[in-house]
Amino acid sequence: MKLEDTFEETYTALSANKVRSGLTMLGIIIGISSVIALVSVGQGAQNSISSNISSLGSNLIEVLPGAARTTGSFGVSAGRGTAKSLLQGDADAIATGVQNVVAVASEVSGRYQVTAKGTNTNTTVIGTTSQYPQIRNLNIAEGTFITDGQNLSLAKVAVLGPTAAADLFGTDTDPLGQTIRIKNVSFTVVGVATAKGGTGFNNPDTTVYIPATSAERFLAGSQYLSTIDVQATDAPSMAQAQVDITALLLQRHNIADASLADFNILNQNDLLATVSSIAQTFTILLGAVAGISLLVGGIGIMNMMLTTVTERTREIGLRKAIGARRRDISLQFLTEAVALTLIGGIIGITLGMLISFGISYFGILQTSVSLQAILLAFGVSAAIGITFGYYPARRAANLNPIEALRYE
Amino acid sequence: MIEIKDITKTYGMGDTAFQALRGVSFTIKDGEFVAIMGPSGSGKSTLMHMLGCLDTPTSGTYILDGKDVSTLSDEALADIRRDKIGFVFQSFNLLPRTTVLRNVMLPLIYADVEKAERHTRAAAALSASGLPESHFLHKSNELSGGQIQRVAIARSLVNDPSLILADEPTGNLDTKTGEIVLGTFQKLNTEHGRTVILITHEPNVAEHAERIITLRDGLVVSDSKAHTRRHAKHHAEMNTS
């Protein structure tokens, strides 16, 4: 039997029972389209989380102070980040002594009441150095960021986040050149940053930036840093840079045992990997739920094919009597099952893509349909056709022609 | 040319074994019109399955056109059925909701005949069995019983078989329509030289053949020329009268 004839027989058989074929196909359509749509939602969520993390800075390594310990063999830990262990010297040593480091910025941060003429806000004030914007992906809308010179001279200048600027000066006044007071010290506004949007607990848009040295002298009253931000040249060199920084700081702090280190290092890649793996688990979960509906659709195909074989027993008997080989019969029924799933698969893929475009279009989430997901869905629908069509087809092929012809 | 020798067929095993055929032998030459007759339970259906290569005998040999087909596999038997045998069934067994032409072309699909040739051969077979051309594109369920059986006869002819096996072909038809169908077989036999084997339990149907083999309890009890052969008017004469 020629392939072309097989297709023609399939078409005749499927169109003879349009409603039944359509309903069976609907199972596959729903299964495939939900796989495509839900996986695209999962991947969209994954992408949006990754890009949020990237906006914190690129190839960022953060060095934080460790837990403060009281001295003695029964030292009490006071929690991470409480130690006063990082100095500007550490930051400078990292900048000069560690390879694969592009930029280093110190941070001395605290929360203070900030006032201007008749207004005030309570916000994070970060004392930092000139390379901070590059490391943290911060852009300056007006004026300039803090320079190295201002750091050397302990200048009383400030750069405002856009929300902080609006809180203090409203939207009508140009904040440049105006004066703000932090802890009763006057600072002149020299720049305003562009909006970045919040990432979790600290919102860069409300932050006020001043020189690190000024923060140490006028606000914190000590020379300890709260963070050292380090930017590595690229993602692959981050792990090595982290190792090198650890070694350098252990040496500088005279600590022999790495487990007693008085600082912690956070690697942005680790964070990204953790969050991505959570998002991936979420995608797999969504895919699995959709996969179950696909499986149910496949069983629907098998059910229909078994009914068809029973219904057409006499026809199968006749076909065998006039010389159809076992292969001809099994191929005919297998083609019917595969045709149902493939057509259902194509419609399902189209529908799934429409749904995911709809989700993007209405701004719920920026979804992304990957070619991989489409190919997978296509492969799965073909596999379902073959798997669930095989048993009914084999049953049809193995019918005894004499008994099949007598079947009532 | 059909030669069967000492064919037996046993169903089941041991105590419950039932011997449907107990040593049947005969020879049918090309161009003969033979009726195989017998009451129900005589083994004529079993014999029809053997002759039609739908089943193989327990013992004995069946030589069809010089080839021993009694020991072939199921798949090889399918090939023999496709190339050498045409079936006409009591219950017609046409594909429903399918045109007359497609029904007749069905055996040719399995024989891998080219599409254009299928069409010509199906049309020729339909004309030989006496169905007017105007009915070729009708759906099979739109035809009368007599017309349906003639489509079935055309289907049995279309692969140019060595023998046409008709199993109670008039069983579901009224007497008058049955006569026309039998006339069609006679015409195919006399004018086209087809070998026809008619399986029936009715003596007056069997008498349309030129030779009658009677079975009883799995054995041939008589094998002779029909004493009073009936000549049915075939369709062409019916149409003019």
3-state secondary structure chain A: CCHHHHHHHHHHHHHHCHHHHHHHHHHHHHHHHHHHHHHHHHHHHHHHHHHHHHCCCCCEEEEEECCCECCCCCCCECCCCCCCCCCHHHHHHHHHHCCCEEEEEEEEEEEEEEEECCEEEEEEEEEECCCHHHHHCCCEEEECCCCHHHHHCCCCEEEECHHHHHHHHCCCCCCCCCEEEECCEEEEEEEEECCCCCECCECHHHCEEEEHHHHHHHHHCCCCCCEEEEEECCHHHHHHHHHHHHHHHHHHCCCCCHHHCCEEEEEHHHHHHHHHHHHHHHHHHHHHHHHHHHHHHHHHHHHHHHHHHHHCHHHHHHHHHCCCCHHHHHHHHHHHHHHHHHHHHHHHHHHHHHHHHHHHHCCCCCCCCCHHHHHHHHHHHHHHHHHHHHHHHHHHHCCCHHHHHHCC
Q: What is the pLDDT of residue A257?
A: 84
Q: What is the pLDDT of residue A58?
A: 74
Q: Say whether pLDDT at A291 is over 50.
A: yes
Q: What is the pLDDT of residue A83?
A: 66
Q: Say whether pLDDT at A273 is over 90.
A: no
Using the Cβ of B81 and the Cβ atoms of chain A, whether some distance falls under 8 Å is answered with: yes
> Does B106 contact A315 at a Cβ distance shorter than 8 Å?
no
Quote the percentage of chain A above a pLDDT of 90. Answer: 42
- B203: helix, strand or coil: helix
Q: Say whether pLDDT at A52 is over 80.
A: no
Q: Say whether pLDDT at A380 is over 90.
A: no
Average pLDDT of span B75-80: 93
Q: Which residues of A touch B107 (CB under 8 A)?
A: 322-323
Average pLDDT of span A180-198: 88
Q: What is the pLDDT of residue B37?
A: 93
* Better pLDDT: B166 or A57: B166
Q: Say whether pLDDT at B241 is over 80.
A: no
CB nearest to A321's CB, from B83, B87, B109? B87
Which chain A residue's Cα is nearest to B156?
A322
Q: Say whether pLDDT at A199 is over 70.
A: no
Q: Say whether pLDDT at B208 is over 80.
A: yes
Q: Say whether pLDDT at A67 is over 90.
A: no
Q: What is the pLDDT of residue A307?
A: 93
The widest CA-to-CA distance across chain A, in whole angstroms, is 105
**Selection from B132, B213, B202, B130 nearest residue B170 by Cα:** B202
* C-beta of residue B208 within 8 angstroms of C-beta of residue B179: no
Using the Cβ of A12 and the Cβ atoms of chain B, whether some distance falls under 8 Å is answered with: yes
Chosen for mutation from A14, A318, A325, A400 (greatest number of chain B CBs closer than 10 Å) is: A318
The values of phi and psi at residue B108, to 5°, are: -70, -30
Using the Cβ of A407 and the Cβ atoms of chain B, whether some distance falls under 8 Å is answered with: no
Q: What is the pLDDT of residue B125?
A: 93
Using the Cβ of B52 and the Cβ atoms of chain A, whether some distance falls under 8 Å is answered with: yes
Task: State how far Cα A30 lies from the chain centre.
Answer: 26
Using the Cβ of B89 and the Cβ atoms of chain A, whether some distance falls under 8 Å is answered with: yes
Amino acid at A245: I
Q: What is the pLDDT of residue A72?
A: 54
* C-beta of residue A148 within 8 angstroms of C-beta of residue A130: yes
Q: What is the pLDDT of residues B147-174, one digit of tens each?
A: 999 999 999 999 999 899 999 999 888 9
CB nearest to B110's CB, from A315, A328, A405? A328
Average pLDDT of span A116-137: 90
Average pLDDT of span A172-193: 91
Quote the percentage of chain A above a pLDDT of 70. Answer: 94
Q: What is the pLDDT of residue A211?
A: 94
Q: Say whether pLDDT at A371 is over 50.
A: yes
Looking at the DSSP bridge assignments, the partners of residue B140 are: none
CB nearest to B109's CB, from A5, A326, A405? A5
Q: Say whether pLDDT at B240 is over 50.
A: no
Q: Say whether pLDDT at B229 is over 80.
A: no
pLDDT band at residue A261, thresholds of 50, 70 and 90? confident
Q: Which residues of A touch B155 (CB under 8 A)?
A: 322
CB nearest to B81's CB, from A9, A323, A405? A323
Q: What is the pLDDT of residues A203-218, one digit of tens each?
A: 788 899 999 999 999 9
Average pLDDT of span A219-238: 88
Average pLDDT of span A315-326: 93
Q: Say whether pLDDT at A391 is over 90.
A: yes
Instruction: Give Cα separations from A110 to A58, A154, A197, B213 (angstroms).
Output: 24, 17, 20, 114
Using the Cβ of A16 and the Cβ atoms of chain B, whether some distance falls under 8 Å is answered with: yes
Q: Say whether pLDDT at A279 is over 90.
A: no
Min Cα–Cα distance to chain A from B82, Å: 4
Using the Cβ of B76 and the Cβ atoms of chain A, whether some distance falls under 8 Å is answered with: no
Q: What is the pLDDT of residue B76?
A: 92
Using the Cβ of A318 and the Cβ atoms of chain B, whether some distance falls under 8 Å is answered with: yes
pLDDT band at residue A69, thresholds of 50, 70 and 90? low
Average pLDDT of span A237-246: 89
pLDDT-wise least confident of A18-32, A261-275, A298-312: A261-275
Q: What is the pLDDT of residues A322-366, one digit of tens each?
A: 999 999 999 999 999 999 999 999 999 999 999 999 998 887 788
Q: Which residues of A touch B89 (CB under 8 A)?
A: 318, 405
Number of cross-chain residue pairs from A and B with Cβ atoms under 8 Å apart: 59
> Does B98 contact A323 at a Cβ distance shorter than 8 Å?
no
Using the Cβ of B54 and the Cβ atoms of chain A, whether some distance falls under 8 Å is answered with: yes
Using the Cβ of A406 and the Cβ atoms of chain B, whether some distance falls under 8 Å is answered with: no
pLDDT-wise least confident of A71-75, A124-128, A365-369: A71-75
* β B219-225/B211-216 pair status: antiparallel
Q: What is the pLDDT of residue B235?
A: 53
Q: Which two tokens stand for residue A58?
A: 């690129």
Average pLDDT of span A262-291: 85
Give the contacts of B68 (CB within 8 A, at least 6 positions apart).
Answer: B61, B62
Report how far apart the first and last C-alpha atoms of chain B are (Å, whole number).
37
Q: How many CB atoms lie within 10 A of CB A6?
A: 18
pLDDT-wise least confident of A306-320, A327-341, B154-168, B222-236: B222-236
The complex's ipTM works out to 0.91
> Does B112 contact A315 at a Cβ distance shorter than 8 Å?
no
Using the Cβ of B75 and the Cβ atoms of chain A, whether some distance falls under 8 Å is answered with: yes
> Does B110 contact A2 at a Cβ distance shorter than 8 Å?
no
Q: What is the pLDDT of residue A318?
A: 94
Report how far apart the first and last C-alpha atoms of chain A are (Å, whole number).
27
Q: What is the pLDDT of residues B125-150, one digit of tens each?
A: 999 888 889 999 999 888 988 899 99
Q: How many CB atoms lie within 10 A of CB A375?
A: 11
Give the contacts of A253 (CB within 8 A, at least 6 positions apart).
Answer: A85, A261, A262, A263
Using the Cβ of A402 and the Cβ atoms of chain B, whether some distance falls under 8 Å is answered with: yes
pLDDT band at residue B239, thresholds of 50, 70 and 90? very low
Which chain A residue's Cα is nearest to B109?
A1
User: What is the 3-state secondary structure of B44-65?
Assistant: HHHHHHHHCCCCCCCEEEEEEC
